[in-house]
Amino acid sequence: MRIATWNINGVKARLDTLLGWLAAVRPDVALLQETKSPDDAFPTAPFEDLGYNLALHGQKGFNGVAILSKLPLEDVTRGLPGDPDDDQCRFIEAVISVGRGAAIRVASLYLPNGNPLGSDKFDYKLAWTERLESLIRDRLRLEEALVLGGDYNIIPEPRDARFPENWSADALFRPQPRMQWRRLLSLGLTDAVRAAAPLSDLYTFWDYQAGAWQKNNGIRIDHFLLSPQAADRMVGVSIDKGIRAAEKPSDHVPVILELEA
């Protein structure tokens, strides 16, 4: 089973690129972030033509997450629990039946960026991640295969940035979010990319500015976290770096997780 996560940075702006990639790579499930489209304006038809069922949680102009699945989606949850006043569309979860009574719970998530430091946005980032930790604790009690894919907006370690010193004053690399990341791992989750390829020079984001792509000045902020039941089924992980060179690309690239069916 092939599950991909990709911050597409505007589904309408990257529609042709996304559709072409889906047709070529054919993931069974695609988790999208930053769709930047309300649900009633999402271009569903071309994805349905490729055989995907869709679960959407979007808003106009920013944020927005989606799950595309070749298999039926059940038990869809829109929005991260824990704050009824939070109206930002950053989390969607669903259960996918994979046959023989087995199922996988998947989530597409888009953590807050948190910049600038010292602002309400940084406080929101920390509070959102605390709510995510609470939800994961609850989900792990179910003892099921759980796949949490998305743009976490956290650079976990210095080796996850080409020039970590350039990010020392950025919310993505501050001690508090990195500590929260370690707390998530301490729950028993597996960082799929690091489990498969414990090397440096593994990036998923290159800024549009200052020739970052051409200089390979990247960071790793798009992650898969797996419950023990999902990690036991992991076959491999890859980062589709080449799509960053496409015409009018997203500044993120897809990460692809392979699980035993």
Kindly provide the b/e burial profile for residues 74-96, where b requires at least 16 CB atoms within 10 angstroms of the residue's own CB.
eeebebbeeeeebebbbbbbbbb
208 catalytically annotated: no
CB 195 within 8 A of CB 235: no
Starting at the edge strand that comes first in sequence, how are the strands of the sheet with 29-33 ordered?
A: 53-57, 65-69, 29-33, 2-7, 255-259, 234-239
Residue type (1 letter), 53: N
How far is 108 from 57, CA to CA, in rounded Å? 10
- Read off the tokens for 166: 């350039």
CA 62 to chain centre: 15
| Active-site pick, 28, 151, 160, 191 | 151
| Active-site pick, 52, 110, 152, 203 | 110
CB 156 within 8 A of CB 10: no
The residues, ordered by sequence, that sit 6+ positions from 188 with a Cβ below 8 Å of its Cβ are 140, 227, 228
Residue type (1 letter), 26: R
151 catalytically annotated: yes
How far is 51 from 42, CA to CA, in rounded Å? 16
Q: Is 80 helix (H, G, I), strand (E, B) or coil?
A: coil
Residues marked active site are found at: 110, 151
